[in-house]
Amino acid sequence: MHYKLLTLAVAMLALQGCATKKYVHEYVADKLAPVESSIAAHADRAAADHKAQGEQIAGLNGRLTEANSRIADVSGRLAANEDGLASFVREQRGANQQLHSGLTAASKTAQDALDRAVAAGKLTAGKLIYDVVLSDDTLRFMPGKNDLTPPAQVVLDAFAANLKAQNTNLFVEIQGHTDNTGSTAYNHELAYQRAMAVRDYLAMKGGIPLHRLDVISYGETMPVADNKSRDGRKQNRRVVLVVLK
């Protein structure tokens, strides 16, 4: 009897121990569940943050690459602009030198005209009043010809009218110039014939007395532009009317 009771007591204790252990497990699991959930949530947030940071870094790298590309493009443009500016400066220097040479030539021929007129006793005061350059565009001489075209005659009519309106004893030296196409002798004669054509028109049509007109040919010797270019040659083919007093 006592043996049975003892066995029953042991069994009950065993059952009680199992129940207690199960309770402990359930208790612990219940307490750990929020912690594990929080850890999982933190892990998910960390993974999301890491992914977002990766995407942000990738975006920054992309923008950096684009910025570097733009910088390279701007640098290329600046280099091209520097080359273009250097070329422009060189061209301007050349143009300025050419202009200076042309002005020097024009000034010399005007001074020469003044000196010749003074030496000949044709002036009262002996000074340059102004000069008029009739370029190839204005006179429109045909190649190798000295015939005045209607547009050239209109220009000379206006010049003669203005000269007479001043009502003073002005003297005009008519200077003929050509480009360097052809021989020196040919160009000298051609320039002379063209200047003579202008003188004759001013005397006969413009009413300017012949004693107030003189003619000289410079031929190709006094260019105001580069004869290597078409435009330069056109500028060099001219008749200059130097008005003196």
Tens-digit pLDDT profile for residues 60-105 = 677 767 767 777 776 666 566 556 545 544 544 444 444 344 445 6
Any idea which of 10-14, 47-51, 66-70, 191-195 has the lowest mean pLDDT? 10-14
Average pLDDT over residues 183-192: 95
Q: Is a pLDDT exceeding 80 seen at residue 238?
A: yes
More confident residue, 224 or 47: 224
So what's the pLDDT on residue 228?
92
So what's the pLDDT on residue 92?
45
In a domain, 163, yes or no: yes
- 147: confidence class by pLDDT, cuts 50, 70, 90: confident
**DSSP letters spanning the chain:** -HHHHHHHHHHHHHHHHHHHHHHHHHHHHHHHHHHHHHHHHHHHHHHHHHHHHHHHHHHHHHHHHHHHHHHHHHHHHHHHHHHHHHHHHHHHHHHHHHHHHHHHHHHHHHHHHHHHHHHTT--SS--EEEEEEEEHHHH-PPTT--PPPHHHHHHHHHHHHHHHHT-S--EEEEEEE--SSS-HHHHHHHHHHHHHHHHHHHHHTS---GGGEEEEEEETSS-SS-TTSHHHHHHHSEEEEEEE-
In a domain, 149, yes or no: yes
So what's the pLDDT on residue 121?
66
Domain that holds residue 239: 106-244
In a domain, 52, yes or no: no
In a domain, 156, yes or no: yes
In a domain, 73, yes or no: no
- CATH number, position 207: 3.30.1330.60
In a domain, 58, yes or no: no
In total, how many domains does the chain have? Answer: 1
So what's the pLDDT on residue 97?
43
In a domain, 136, yes or no: yes
